[in-house]
Structure formats: C-alpha cells, structure tokens
Chains A and B, each alone.
Chain A
Amino acid sequence: MTGDIFLWLTQDGVTNGAIYALLALALLLVFAVTRVIFVPQGEFITFAALSLALLEAGRTPGTLYILVFGGLAAAAIETFEALRGRAWRRLPRVAALYIALPVAVALLVAWAAPRKFDQWVQVLLVLAMVVPLGPIVYRIAYQPLANASVLVLFIVSMAVHYVLTGLSLVFFGGEGLRSRPFSDAKFRLGVVEVSAQSLLVVGASVVLIIALWLLFEHTLYGKALRATAMNRVGARLVGIPTVLTGHLSFLLASFIGAFSGILIAPITTLYYDTGFLIGLKGFVGAILGGMGSYPLAAVGSVAVGLLESFSSFWASAFKEVIVFTMIIPVLAWLSLRSRHLEEEEE
C-alpha cells in the first residue's frame, strides 16, 4: 500500500461515509421521535435516484403512481376517521394535503417528463415526488400503531420495506440505472484526483447536517421534535402533538433519503433494491455511534465508509462480512453498558 492508494481509498470512504452519515441521522431521528426502526429509509434513495435517471431519459417515473395512490389511501383513512369522529372541519385539509397535492405533483411531473428540463428542475421534481411519501407512509402504516412496542413497529417496517421494494421492481424494472453527473470537473489535490461529484456529496451532506442542527436548536418544530425524542409522555403533557412530530420526522427522513439518492445516482449504478443495503449501512453507522447521539452516528457512518473502502482493497470478497460483523462487538458492549434503555421500552 502506497501513500496515494491510501489517499484514494480515504477519499472514496469519506464520500460513501457522508451518504451513510445522512441516512444514519435520519434513522436516528425517526427512531428517537417515533421509536420506529425505519427499514424502508433506503427505498426513498432508490425512488429518488431511479426517478431522476428516468426523468433524464424523458420517461415518466412510476413513482408518481405510488404518490397518488398512497395519497388516496391515506386520504381514505383520514376521511373515515374524520367521519367517525364527526370532525367535518378536517376534511378540506385532508383533501388538500393527501389528494390535491399528490395529484398536482403527479400532473406536473407527467407534463414535465417528456420536455427534458434542466437537471436542477428535474431534481426539484424528484424531491416533490418522493418527499411527500414519508408522511404518507407514516399515516398509512405507523400512525394507527403509534403506541405499539418497538418490536411491532419493526415488523411493520419490514412489511413496508417489502411492499415498497415490490413496487419499485414493478415501476423501475430489474436492470440498473444511472443518472448523468452534475459536473464532470475534476480537481487535483496532490496525487489524488477529486471529482466535483464527490466534493458535492461531502459538501451537501455537511450543509444538510448543519441545517438539521439549526432546525433542532433554533426552531419551534425542531424543539418539539427534540422534546418528543427525549420524553414522549412529557412532550404530550406540555401540549406537543405526537402525531405532528411523527409526520415531521418522517418528512425529514424521506427528504434525507431522496436527497441522498439524488447525490449518489450519478456515482453508481442503482437497482430497484439497492437502497436497502445503503440504508442498512447507515444503520450500522448509527449503531456504531451508540444509537443515541447524532455526532457519534455521523462519525460512525464515516467509519463504516472508510472500513468498506479499505476492506474492498484488501479483501474484496469479504467486504460486506467485515462491515456487518462490526456491529456485533458494539452491540455487545452497548447491551452490557446501558440498562436504562430496556426500562424505557417497557
């Protein structure tokens, strides 16, 4: 191993680690606020990346059907609940959020797809399509079970994951897709050549992490999320609606997922089921960080990226084994050290 190989591998590991860090933050946020281990996080990556690639090819991505029909299903549940509770005043809001918005986005995308707009417009279209899926998934799958145990919520997550992967195969097909890079520029840093794309990934991740920090520290919604994460019952007692924080955390999760998908779509070939594995590595990163601290989760994720990169150099056949085996000692250590977590779950 020479110095420049070391630098190359580090650069590669940091680029991947930055994506894992974003996902780890989203997983941690959702887990802290709703106690949901959000396995389908990775599907948002897939949806966003593949939708972007299809839009570039001038084709209409099937994501919009998922959006419209998901919205309709959520609207049906909301309407049923509203009628049962005789809360008529909720109906216009339901119609606007779960029917009008998805349909408007779908029509806009269907209109824009064959016209092949500028890449930045396409990115915005993809975000408009994928981000609303987070709250919709929460409304359909998780909200009715908001008080269930962590295990039940986890099983629901697996079910949602399988449903979304299946839809992904139906709408995107079995072959992989890749989108055009945002920039072909390359910079020389000593012996290492850094592509603008990987700088963009790292830069965008850092900006997003800072934005999240500002959100949590300086806005009312962010503080409500933090309060719910720290103590659900207490938060409810002081008047924070847990349904709202649930929606908000899923909105952030789907935004982060879609954002990561857009970032990596030009770097690698993505398949209908790739997102799951990427999300899983973000999860490993979060666990390495102790599943409780945001900065540690980010550090853990970068460690996963670096480990992956170096093990792909030395023992490529065992790369996944090495990455996933890493969580065993950490889990053992965590379970020996912290007893209070279990009490909370009861």
Chain B
Amino acid sequence: MNRKLTLALCAATALSATAANADITVGVTLGATGPGASLGIHYKNAFQLMPKTLGGQAVKYIILEDGSDATNAGKNARKLITEDQVDVVMGSNGVPSSLQIAQVATETQTPFLCLTPIAVKPDVYKWTFSVPQPTELMMGAVAEHMKANGVKTVGFIGFSDGWGDLMYKATEFHAASHGYKVVTNERYARADTSVTGQVLKIMAANPDAVVVGGSGTGGALPHLALVERGYKGRIYHNHGTVNAEFIRVGGKNVEGAVAPTGPLIVPEELPANAPTKAVSLDFTKRYEAAFGAGSRNAFAGYTNDAVMLLGAAIPEAMKQAQPGTPAFRAALRDALENVKNMVGTHGVYSPTAANHNGLDDRARVLVRVEGGTWRLMK
C-alpha cells in the first residue's frame, strides 16, 4: 500500500514538475521496510517535519522505498535523478545501500547527502557528503573513556554485516594510540536466537571491556548474554544502539551500558554553552510531539541535519544557476564544500573539499543507561 502511495505521489510530483520549474527537488530513498526498517522508519518520519522552503526556495521531497535493499536503493537513486530530475539525493539506511547511491551520484554528477556514516574518499566520490559522525570519531570517545579507566584488552562482538565491520575497524583504529588490544572479533546476526558461543569465547579471552557493534535492540542480545554469564567488565555500545527500545528490551541488565551518541539524545542535560543545545532541544521537542514521548533518536537527527546543510548551501548555489539544471547541481556541490560552522542537531558542520563530513569533537557525547534512561556522562 505504501509503495502505491509513493508511486502516486511520484506521478503527481512528476506532473507538477513542469509547472513549477524553480522549485528545488530533493530525492530520497529509504528502507522503512526490510531488515533495516528499525532505522529507516525514523529517517523517514523526520521528513514529515522538514521545512517546505529552504533558503527562500520552495522545496519538494520525493521519498521512495528501497526495502533496505542495496540494488533497490541504487535503482531508486537512478530513477530519481533521470526521471524526476532531482537536484540532490538523500539516503539510505545501511552501508551497502548508501554505497550504491554514491556510485550513481558520482556517475550522474548529482550531490548526495548520505544519511549513513560511510567512509568514502572525497577525491573519488566528489559528489557524496556523509552527514553522520564518522565511526572513528564516535568510537574515539569510547577509546578515550577506556584509556582513562585503564582498559588494556577489549573483546569485540558485532553484527555480521557492514555495520559490524565498520565498528570493528573503528575500535581497531584507536587501539594503538589508546593503549589497548582487541582480543576477539565475534560476529552475530540481528535475528540470532542465541549468542552463547560468541560470549563463551569472549569470557575465555577475559578482556577488561567489551565493545558491542550492533544497532538498536540488536545490541541487547550480547549484552544480556554477557551479564547472564557473569561478565564483570564494562560493556560499551555505539551510537546505533542509543534508543529507548534498547532499554525496554534489555531492562535492568543493561544498566551501566556506555555509548557515544550525538548530543540530540540528551539536549536537556547539555551545558548551557553547548553549541548544539538550542537546535537539538527544538528538534527533539518537535519530533516527540509528532511521534510520541521517548521517540527521540539519532537517525531522525541525521535527516534534519542533511536538510539543514542543504538549506545552508542553497543560497550560494542559487546565485550560480537555476534549480533543475546540471549547472545548479554542480554549484550546489561546490556550495556544500564551503558551508561554514552550520549548527545542526548532531554537531557543528564545516565540510571542506578534503573532508566531506566536517564534524568535530563537539558532535559526540558519552551517555550511560541509568535508572532506565540514557543519561549524559559528566
């Protein structure tokens, strides 16, 4: 039914595209169904709250569903660019889907605001801008915390997919500089009914701390298994895990779990001088008013920040060319590289030609599960 609706919407927007030429068209492909649905739904929800004008220009959003499937994501991107002649593409949840879109964006010379942290080189993928914090930046906060607490050995258990790989790499990346060794690389699937084998292996290696590379409620399974087996060390998670459902599933046993996240998860607790406080607070309020108390999550924030980045780049691009033209797309890409100190919900963005993300330490905080909610660690 959803697909039909999007199809109808696409048809309607395609018809109206000829009428209003100066509108900016944003093409989005997301997987609000399929294995990545738990993230895709949040990314998609946030588009309902996005402004209808950016930089004084009317904007329309065309949102397609890719079912968390990389091939579909690529097809959707191509369709958006060739048939709907969008000025910019956004999407998708999942690393494989996002890489597919990045390929299409490079080939068709269309700016792509990626909503998943993918590590691509800006000199090859000139048209791709990654909105979320790079995993190394996020796990850097975990590495610092481990160093401060004298952790020497780290057990890793993560998803057996692209996300697990990214998290493992990020954990390894900081190992030498922060004086710890990663002693296990165990993998599990979100749908697994048991992680006993992996947890036993970690227990046998007896590391000082464990890093879980899962996401959402999927992060709870290894944590619960470790606690059940009597593991006493600290268990770290990552920014993909920080949501209310994780605590609902994990209950008492995930108390004390530590994770890095963007500041918009705990805007109320941020110090008054935190740069993102006002933006995060406002967005969290609006999101929870629309989707229920406790529904705040990092993914909706990435959607918001992608649209804000676009809004910051549009005025400059408008000086160069009219929307709907290749010249405008090129101007938009250049303008995105020159955005300075744009304050979003997750941090302060200053992308450059060499860094297509542009976030710094201000885009991360450490949170801990205390009394059934995520609280900022002071």
Considering the chains assembled together, what is the distance between the CA atoms of A310 and B196 in angstroms?
A: 9
CB of A226 closer than 8 Å to a CB of B: no
Asked if B194 and A12 sit within 8 Å, CB to CB, the answer is yes
Considering the chains assembled together, what is the distance between the CA atoms of A320 and B197 in angstroms?
A: 13
Q: Contacts A176-B216, A313-B201: A277 and B191 contacting too (C-beta < 8 A)?
A: yes
Interface segment among A66-74, A83-91, A110-118, A266-274: the answer is A266-274
Instruction: Name the CB-closest residue of A to B41.
Output: A174
User: When each residue 243-281 of chain A gets 1 if its CB lies under 8 Å from chain B and 0 otherwise, what string results?
Assistant: 000000000000000000000100111011110011000
Asked if A264 and B249 sit within 8 Å, CB to CB, the answer is no
Give the Cβ gap from A226 to chain B, nearest Cβ, in Å: 31
Considering the chains assembled together, what is the distance between the CA atoms of A316 and B191 in angstroms?
A: 14
CB of B193 closer than 8 Å to a CB of A: yes
CB of B204 closer than 8 Å to a CB of A: yes
Asked if B40 and A312 sit within 8 Å, CB to CB, the answer is no
Q: How large is the interface on B (under 10, 10 to 19, 20 to 34, 35 or more residues)?
A: 35 or more
CB of B278 closer than 8 Å to a CB of A: no
Q: How large is the interface on A (under 10, 10 to 19, 20 to 34, 35 or more residues)?
A: 35 or more
Asked if A175 and B204 sit within 8 Å, CB to CB, the answer is no
Q: Which of B33, B40, B194, B249 has the most CB of A within 10 A?
A: B194
User: When each residue 306-342 of chain A gets 1 if its CB lies under 8 Å from chain B and 0 otherwise, what string results?
Assistant: 0011111110110110000000000000000000000
CB of B83 closer than 8 Å to a CB of A: no
User: When each residue 19-44 of chain B gets 1 if its CB lies under 8 Å from chain A and 0 otherwise, what string results?
Assistant: 00000000000001101011111000
Considering the chains assembled together, what is the distance between the CA atoms of A51 and B96 in angstroms?
A: 32
- Residues of chain B from 206 to 248 with CB closer than 8 A to chain A in the complex: 216-218, 220-221, 243, 245
Asked if B186 and A271 sit within 8 Å, CB to CB, the answer is no
Q: Which of B41, B189, B193 contacts A320 (CB 8 A)?
A: B189
CB of A65 closer than 8 Å to a CB of B: no
CB of A166 closer than 8 Å to a CB of B: yes
Q: Which of B187, B197, B218, B243 contacts A269 (CB 8 A)?
A: B218
Asked if B191 and A175 sit within 8 Å, CB to CB, the answer is no
CB of B116 closer than 8 Å to a CB of A: no
Asked if A5 and B200 sit within 8 Å, CB to CB, the answer is yes
Q: Contacts A16-B193, A320-B189: A176 and B218 contacting too (C-beta < 8 A)?
A: yes
Asked if A317 and B187 sit within 8 Å, CB to CB, the answer is yes
Considering the chains assembled together, what is the distance between the CA atoms of A9 and B195 in angstroms?
A: 10
Asked if B196 and A316 sit within 8 Å, CB to CB, the answer is no
Considering the chains assembled together, what is the distance between the CA atoms of A278 and B187 in angstroms?
A: 18
Considering the chains assembled together, what is the distance between the CA atoms of A58 and B220 in angstroms?
A: 22
Asked if A312 and B217 sit within 8 Å, CB to CB, the answer is no
A-B contact pairs, 15 of them (CB 8 A): A5-B200, A16-B194, A174-B40, A175-B216, A176-B216, A267-B193, A268-B194, A269-B249, A271-B190, A274-B193, A309-B197, A313-B197, A316-B160, A316-B188, A319-B160
By a beta-carbon cutoff of 8 Å, the part of chain A in contact with chain B is: 2, 5, 8-9, 12, 15-16, 19, 166, 169, 173-178, 264, 267-269, 271-274, 277-278, 308-314, 316-317, 319-320
By a beta-carbon cutoff of 8 Å, the part of chain B in contact with chain A is: 32-33, 35, 37-41, 157, 160, 185-198, 200-201, 204, 216-218, 220-221, 243, 245, 249
Task: A308-B194, A311-B197 given; name 4 further pairs at CB < 8 Å.
Answer: A176-B216, A178-B217, A273-B191, A312-B198
